[in-house]
Structure 1
Amino acid sequence: MSSPRPLRKLGFLTIGLFDPDDPARGHESTLEIIERGEQLGFDSAWVRNRHLQHGISSPVAVLAAASQRTRRIELGTAVIPLGWENPLRLAEDLATVDVLSGGRLNPGVSVGPPLHFDRVRQTLYPDTADVEDFSYERVRRLLDLVRGNPASSFRGTEGFEEFSDRVQPHSAGLGSRLWYGGASLRSATWAGANGMNFLTSSVVKAEESEDFAEIQLSHIRAFRAHHPDGERARVSQGLVVIPTDSASAAQRERYEAYARARTPRTLAPQGPGRMMFAADLVGTSEEIAERLRAHAAFREVDEVAFALPFTFAHEDYLQILTDMAERLGPALGWRPATAG
């Protein structure tokens, strides 16, 4: 068994839920949580993408706002499903936000048909639904555009206007901060071969095993085996982690009930896709740290983006983040970042 790596980067992930009758408050809560994360020394804050739900539908817009309310913390998406996106337009948006943030954006993406595609195809792609390419090629197009490859066959002056043949603004360095969110061995291998960073979460596909940690470990090793940077290639793990050190008795009871309700899905592969879910980690920081140090996949990463539970209150998230930064992170060898 490998020795665990000291935790170098501590991040968190939020879905950004909101009340449909008061969406502004929910978005403000997300921005406040990101601000508080920076104050606590977190290295990164990540937002999920939720289309046609009461969660963040436009993570790039939310992170544009966050970029103006923070100075240091890295801002990521985990993940943007590219089936909903035009790679050229997304490349422009990502580069713009990266420039606004001073080079702090970490876009995470995935591929595949949009969720519930049959229900939205006539709205999303009324003329091209049958010919849209939802394969890895869609990611490759985004990579090429972000990295500065030509987007147009024309460059020069037309009348009084100057045109570029590549995405503008071009943000140098953004291409090296693109992440692929993968749950299969094939995705891990593809991401590594294409020089991306790799996001592995609390969901994996049960292909070679039915042990979550073993499956995730195989993905990490396959990714690095195919990446030009080898063992130095960046991997971030995103488990659901709920420290209870400073939680009230009522909060602890609610957190434990949340995890219990979700436990049955962790016991065997789920659905035709044979998806495996990791158990939520609830307990004191020392208890969670002990479980993580014994986790085969965690032992091979030095970056995490711990996922906040979906349905908790703003005050719960602040308590969880505070315990992560002040107790759990240090127990794993992490040191908070300083303002700058």
Structure 2
Amino acid sequence: MKKIGFLSFGHWSPSPQSQTRTAADALLQSIDLAVAAEELGADGAYFRVHHFARQLASPFPLLAAVGAKTKRIEIGTAVIDMRYENPLYMAEDAGAADLIAGGRLQLGISRGSPEQVIDGWRYFGHVPQDGQTDADMARRHTEVLLEVLRGKGFAQPNPRPMFPNPPGLLRVEPHSEGLRERIWWGAATNATAEWAAKLGMNLQSSTLKFDEGGKPFHIQQAEQIRVFRTAWKAAGHEREARVSVSRSIFALVDDRDRAYFGGSDNKDQFGYIEADTRAVFGRSYPGEPDALIDQLKGDEAIAEADTLLLTVPNQLGVDYNAHVIEAILTHVAPGLGWR
């Protein structure tokens, strides 16, 4: 069995071809798609966060709204860029969203990817410490967040508070018990996957990974997952780790599917996401259901993961994206033993 959810970047565009033309459209349709996905039997509704872009950016109001509208489905991010985050404020927001959702929040975070503006995190008031990089800053913010989410008191109480305090040092409120164990790290390298395992974070691996050997994407990603699991076991964590991978998979079951994705490229691509960073971008999987089943059987990384996130073309509208999810759940997942 494999958990299957969707991942939306929440793009919007005023283009006449888009059914998501404003920020309000992107937010409200994201809620509607999560509700529809739950009704279809999907396991997760996940959202990507990008700043300074016509995409979803402020995740916690959305996550809280989805949590209030649904009852069962996991609600998460994949991922939040920690270079932009105040970890204590984030702990408050995450705790509130998780309590509203009844403990269903699965919070994916990472160092982030190239953004729309140069050093955008500086505009948010964050600057790396002397001798550190922005990636170091993201990991430092992450370590603070993880510690705060443990729920231990650390702040000295005011001797004359406005309201009575519980005894001892104070913690960030609201605190949601168990959220610390539902933090995921979006790793682009084997080394950061190993680091995440040591800190007790679950692993998210997307459709992009730094190239570490020139092998096909799914093989490099499977190797990354095995490095993560080895490090997790060595760290001695008591609970079982979770691993998710993202894929663009489209079952061609009607004329709309064939028109949108029938001619899609389905090969890995190698390129540079920064001046000196070579990366491999995973292939997409468009095809008739039987052909998809045969192709997906050979994806080593999907086989290693317990959770699959289907990237959805959100600007095609809620109804069509619900159809995309349903087609995978109905026509593909059973043939692979995922359902």
> Shorter-chain TM-score category?
0.7 to 0.9
1:148/1:166 contact within 8 Å kept: yes
- Counterpart of 1:73, as a letter, is I
2:84/2:121 contact within 8 Å kept: no
Please tell me whether residue 233 in structure 1 is matched to residue 244 in structure 2: no
Which of residues 300, 324, 327 in structure 1 aligns to 2:328?
324
**Corresponding residue for 1:146?**
149
- Counterpart of 1:268, as a letter, is F
Please tell me whether residue 217 in structure 1 is matched to residue 214 in structure 2: no
1:122/1:129 contact within 8 Å kept: no
Please tell me whether residue 333 in structure 1 is matched to residue 327 in structure 2: no
d(CA) in 2 for partners of 1:230, 1:208: 33
2:129/2:137 contact within 8 Å kept: no
1:84/1:114 contact within 8 Å kept: no
**Corresponding residue for 1:31?**
31
d(CA) in 1 for partners of 2:307, 2:121: 37
Q: CA deviation at 1:52?
A: 1.4
- Counterpart of 2:249, as a letter, is V
d(CA) in 1 for partners of 2:269, 2:22: 37
SS at match of 1:183: coil
1:58-117 per-position Cα deviation (integer Å, ceiling 9, x unaligned): 111111111111011010100000111100000110010000100000000002587356
Q: CA deviation at 1:138?
A: 1.8
SS at match of 1:179: strand
**Corresponding residue for 2:69?**
69
Cα 1:192–1:119, aligned 2, differ >3 Å: closer, same or farther? closer
SS at match of 1:79: strand
**Corresponding residue for 1:243?**
251
**Corresponding residue for 1:254?**
260
**Corresponding residue for 1:45?**
45
TM-score by length of 1: 0.86
- Counterpart of 2:331, as a letter, is R
For 1:126-141, what aligned pairs fall within 5 Å after superposition?
A: 128=127, 134-141=137-144
d(CA) in 2 for partners of 1:150, 1:183: 33
Cα 1:155–1:196, aligned 2, differ >3 Å: closer, same or farther? farther
d(CA) in 2 for partners of 1:76, 1:196: 14
1:234-279 per-position Cα deviation (integer Å, ceiling 9, x unaligned): 111111111122x3x243122134x33xx57x33343421110111
For 1:263-278, what aligned pairs fall within 5 Å after superposition?
A: 266-271=268-273, 272-278=276-282
2:26/2:56 contact within 8 Å kept: no
Q: CA deviation at 1:22?
A: 3.3
**Corresponding residue for 1:56?**
56
Cα 1:159–1:269, aligned 2, differ >3 Å: closer, same or farther? closer
How many residues are paired up? 322
- Counterpart of 1:223, as a letter, is F
d(CA) in 2 for partners of 1:123, 1:268: 32
SS at match of 1:217: helix
The percent identity for this pair of structures is 29
Please tell me whether residue 181 in structure 1 is matched to residue 186 in structure 2: yes
Cα 1:273–1:312, aligned 2, differ >3 Å: closer, same or farther? farther
Structure 1 unaligned spans of 5+ = 1-6, 336-340
Give me the CA root mean square deviation: 2.5
Structure possessing the higher relative contact order (Cα contacts under 8 Å, 6 or more residues apart): 1
Cα 1:320–1:113, aligned 2, differ >3 Å: closer, same or farther? closer
